Amino acid sequence: MKSSKIASWVRISRKIHRKVALPAFICFFIIAFTGLLLGWKKHTGGVLLPDTQRGISTEPSTWLSVDSLYQLAAEVLNDSVSTSLSPEISRIDMRPPKGIAKFIFKHHYWEIQLDCTTGEALQIARRNSDLIERIHDGSIIDNWLNIKGSPFKLLYISLAGLSLLSFIITGIFLYFGAKWVKRVRDR
C-alpha cells in the first residue's frame, strides 16, 4: 500500500477521533465514575448499599408467607418512611442463609429488610446504589420522563459503545499508521 493512501487513512482516523472525543469523554466519565462506585457498593459501610441484616431463623418452614411479609413491608414503609411513597414492589430479595427478605420498591430507592420468621423490620434504608446504577446505564432519564421501553438507555449505551469502538479503531490507525507510513517512506 502506498504511503499516501496510509497517510490518508491516518488523517481520516484523526478527524473521527477528534470529533468523537468530547461527547465520548462525558459518557465515559459518567460510566467510569459510576462503575467505580458500583464496584465498591458492598464495601461502603451501608452508604451506597444497605448492609444485609440477619434474621432469627434460616429454616424456611418457620417463616411467614411472602404475602404476609409484603403487607408488613408496606406498613413499615407507610409508618416509618412516608405515606406518599408507592408500595409497589420492584423485587423481593430472599436471603435464606440470613433468614431475611429485602423489599425493594419500584418508584423510589427505599429498601426494607424483614426477619422472615417474625416479620420484624431489621433495617429501613435508602439504596443509593440503585440511583447510581440508573445513572450508569442511562435509565434515569427514562424513569424521570416516565418513558416506557427505555429508549434513552438504549441510545445512551449504544452511543457509548459505538464511541468506544471508534476510539479503538481510530486509535489503532493513529498508532500504527504513522509507523506504516514511515516504513513505506524509508524503503
Residue 99: pLDDT above 80?
yes
Q: How confident is the model at residue 22 (pLDDT cuts 50, 70, 90)?
A: confident
Residues 107 and 142 in one domain: no
Q: How confident is the model at residue 3 (pLDDT cuts 50, 70, 90)?
A: low
Query: Which residues constitute the domain of residue 29?
Result: 1-48+128-187
Q: Report pLDDT digits (tens) over 158-178.
A: 988 988 898 888 888 778 877
Give pTM, 2 decimals: 0.77
Domain end marker among 111, 126, 141: 126
Instruction: Report, as an integer, the average pLDDT of 179-187.
Output: 71
CA distances from 38 to 32, 133, 141 (A): 10, 7, 19
Residue 187: pLDDT above 80?
no
Among 136, 177, 180, residue whose Cα is nearest residue 29: 136
Domain end marker among 126, 146, 175: 126
Instruction: Report, as an integer, the average pLDDT of 23-32.
Output: 88
Decide if 76 contacts 16 (C-beta within 8 A).
no
Decide if 81 contacts 121 (C-beta within 8 A).
no
Among 168, 170, 163, residue whose Cα is nearest residue 29: 163
Please count the structural domains in the chain: 2
What's the mean pLDDT when you consider all of the chain? Answer: 90
